[in-house]
């Protein structure tokens, strides 16, 4: 069973640009959530999607947005990049109603903003 | 609001010894889940073990066990017979359990575990 796949794995952007990251969940998983990991702030929740609907959202500015497609694949977009957006962006998938809430994470997309 | 505290930024342990990674939490939710994840240098977060707030028994998964003390709000991870491959960052996390799907995970700051040969 294939795991969570995130693309691209590494990317470099400059301030003011925008970036789109992609996440393909495990087959059959309908929930996809996104997390930002930085040395200073640690792991912080961005948002969670289920059946193409955003169900939960963290405390990030509107520059951070996402969406989910009918095949459960998800994308997140960051517009007008700032230096502080440099981070590892992790995507996780899970099955709805799985009480253990086991989240399966991808290897992340490491974004560097210059 | 939920909060996870991991007070050990780093630990060095001799190979084959047992190790305990500390985690305390704070929440007002009556129903919650506690998780431990391992993050090797590759970046992927690997699920290790889960404990529900209403579970009567401590969770175990192979060499991993969770020492759950609800009254003290602690959920320490115990790794028995440590191996060199256990060297990684370890994160404790929790989330509220609801009927509305997957609530967000709140993570601690992590503990970097280094196993010494």
pLDDT at site A103: 83
pLDDT at site A98: 45
B50 contacts A101? CB cut-off 8 A = yes
Q: Please list every residue in chain A whose beta carbon sits closer than 8 Å to the beta carbon of residue B106.
A: 45
B100 contacts A48? CB cut-off 8 A = no
Structure confidence at residue B98 as a pLDDT band (50, 70, 90) = confident
- The pLDDT of A24-36, averaged and rounded, is 93
What does the alpha-carbon distance between residue A43 and residue A56 come to, in Å, rounded to a whole number?
A: 16
Q: Which residue has the higher pLDDT, A99 or B113?
A: B113
The minimum CA-CA distance between B108 and chain A, rounded to whole Å, is 8
| Whether pLDDT at B76 is above 70 | yes
Of A43, A44, A94, the CB nearest to B91: A43
Residues 30-89 of B with CB under 8 A from A: 33, 35, 37, 42-47, 50, 52
Contacts of B7 (CB under 8 A, 6+ apart): B22, B24
What does the alpha-carbon distance between residue B27 and residue B73 come to, in Å, rounded to a whole number?
A: 9
| Whether pLDDT at A99 is above 60 | no
Two structure tokens written together for B28: 């007002």
Structure confidence at residue A100 as a pLDDT band (50, 70, 90) = low
pLDDT at site A97: 45
| Interchain CB contacts (distance < 8 Å): A and B | 75
- The pLDDT of A31-44, averaged and rounded, is 93
| Chain A CB within 8 Å of residue B110 CB | yes
């Amino acid at each position: 069973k294939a795991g969570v796949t995130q693309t691209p794995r590494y990317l470099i952007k400059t301030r003011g640009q925008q970036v789109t990251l992609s996440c393909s969940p495990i087959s059959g998983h309908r929930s996809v959530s996104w997390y930002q990991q930085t040395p200073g702030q640690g792991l912080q929740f961005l948002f969670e999607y289920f059946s193409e609907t955003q169900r939960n959202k963290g405390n990030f500015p509107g520059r951070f947005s996402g969406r989910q497609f009918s095949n459960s694949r998800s994308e997140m977009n960051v517009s007008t990049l700032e230096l502080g957006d440099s981070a590892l962006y992790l995507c996780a998938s899970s099955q709805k109603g799985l009480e253990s809430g086991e989240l399966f994470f991808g290897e992340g997309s490491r974004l560097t903003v210059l | 609001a939920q909060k996870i505290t991991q007070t050990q930024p780093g630990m060095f342990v001799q190979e084959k010894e047992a190790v305990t990674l500390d985690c305390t939490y704070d929440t007002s939710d009556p129903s919650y889940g506690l998780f431990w994840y391992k993050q090797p240098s590759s970046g992927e977060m690997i699920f290790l073990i889960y404990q529900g707030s209403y579970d009567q028994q401590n969770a175990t998964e192979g060499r991993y066990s969770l020492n759950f003390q609800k009254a003290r709000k602690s959920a320490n991870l115990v790794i028995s017979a440590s191996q060199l491959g256990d060297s990684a960052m370890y994160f404790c996390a929790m989330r509220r359990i609801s009927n509305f799907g997957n609530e967000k995970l709140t993570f601690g700051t992590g503990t970097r575990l280094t196993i010494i040969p």
